[in-house]
Amino acid sequence: MRCSGGPRRPWPPEPRDPMAALRVLTFTSLFPSEARPRHGIFVENRLQHLRRDCDVDSRVIAPVPWFPFTAAAFGSYARFAATPRSAVRAEGLQVSYPRYLMLPRLGVARQPDSMARAAWPDVQALLDGGWRPELIDAHYLYPDGVAAGLLARRLDMPFVMTARGTDVNVIAQQPGPGRRIIEAAGRAAAVIAVSQPLKDKLVALGVEPGKVQVLRNGVDLAVFRLEDRSAARLALGLPDAGPIAACVGNLVPEKGQALAIDALCELPDVRLVIVGDGPLRSELAAQVARRGVAGRVDFRPVMPQRELSRLYAAADVLLLTSEREGWPNVVLEAMACGTPVVAFDVGAVREMVTGDAVGRVVVPRETGALTRAIAGMLATPVSREAIRAHAAQYDWTSISRGQWALFTRFAGAARGASLVAA
């Protein structure tokens, strides 16, 4: 077994002894599909980089809430129903999407049990096919991580949980789910936090400090890259003249796009592009009309990564207006395209935005402070090359090495020693 940490291995990979690969089962409801192409894409990116850099043989089980109707009128629930039962993703990654019963609010306490029960036939199918994982890698603590703990106990194997933001900031604060998260963390081989603030909160909740390791998300510099601004704007149908701000995220209350719209009222020369889908779409559109800025706000649906990279390149600044975050990937993505960031002081923002050359951290969380920060950023000359270089320090190779060291410590150390001895 190895983790090169060097150049990516070619695909298809060179022939090798399959027993030399560490078998990892990724378990998470945060995973993209044909029906939801951007959902949990950061988990897929992390896994694909691990597979390219290290000898990892992986499968994915990504449970999806059961819903019977695919009609567009049912919104996000229709996308649950439209999700395929199984798929082969990029580079041959095999994914199954079992359906589990999710009862909003009333069923929250039993969601981990429902998820684990629904996933077991898929686990059994892997076992029957001769593929037995050595470790379960779970993303999102509840219900996913707790469910993975139930499966790991049944399989008598180690599991690792990754905390990503809302699972710690919101769900873990609730008595029932919080108790189950702490219990699962106690049984887990390790808990990964994608930022130092998340680790601090986990420790404050009662997770053993030595069990929590910070492994941040990286950014794919091959996807998110520098591009001529005028050409990017032309490709997206945006005007070449005047400053453009971008907001990228689900249209839900906690993402705070309403504050960006309010700030626009005091920035008469700025155009705002809002990218995302969600239940607040009509409410935000009504706010735009009410505030008299309809001619300067563009709503765009969720974009594939290559088109999103072009939007970052077209923009003069990315706005992060969230109430809470873990490790907001959009910040690094924008910086990799040479675009500075204005963000409220949430999650790991201060770990990313470390000076005025790359962005502004906004305090307090109110429209006036946001407006002043945007104006200040737009008035500051920036080097897009320097901003990209700042983002480049968050490379995927180091993250892959960290995962490899952790996984082999608990799952592959003994076998690895025997292979070396042989």
* Cα dihedral value 200, 202, 208, 210, nearest 10: -50
pLDDT for residue 106 is more than 70: no
CA 375 to centroid of chain Cα atoms: 29
Can you read off the two tokens belonging to residue 327?
């490790």
Strand order in the sheet with 135-139: 86-88, 94-96, 56-61, 22-27, 135-139, 159-163, 190-193, 212-214
Q: What's the rounded mean pLDDT across residues 35-41?
A: 91
Can you read off the two tokens belonging to residue 287?
């706010």
Contact 320, 331 (CB under 8 A): yes
pTM value is 0.84
Q: pLDDT tens across 123-165, in order?
A: 999 999 999 999 999 999 999 999 999 999 999 999 999 999 9
The reported pLDDT for the residue numbered 411 is 86
The reported pLDDT for the residue numbered 72 is 84
Determine the Cα–Cα distance for residues 139 and 40; give it in Å rounded to an integer: 10
Q: What's the rounded mean pLDDT across residues 74-88?
A: 93
Q: What's the rounded mean pLDDT across residues 216-243?
A: 96
CA 99 to centroid of chain Cα atoms: 22
SS3 334: helix
The reported pLDDT for the residue numbered 412 is 59
The reported pLDDT for the residue numbered 75 is 82
Contact 377, 340 (CB under 8 A): yes
Contact 263, 367 (CB under 8 A): yes
Delineate the domains of the chain, giving CATH numbers in brackets: 18-218+395-416 (3.40.50.2000), 229-392 (3.40.50.2000)
Give me the amino acid identity at 43: V
Q: What's the rounded mean pLDDT across residues 382-388?
A: 97
The reported pLDDT for the residue numbered 288 is 98
SS3 348: coil
Can you read off the two tokens belonging to residue 212?
């929590």
Determine the Cα–Cα distance for residues 253 and 258; give it in Å rounded to an integer: 8
Percentage of the chain lying above the pLDDT 70 cut: 92
**Signed CA dihedral, 324, 329, 332, 337: sign only:** negative
Q: pLDDT tens across 322-378, in order?
A: 999 989 999 999 999 999 999 999 989 999 999 999 999 999 999 999 999 999 999
pLDDT for residue 421 is more than 70: no
pLDDT for residue 12 is more than 60: no
* Rg, the chain, Cα only: 22
Contact 19, 57 (CB under 8 A): no
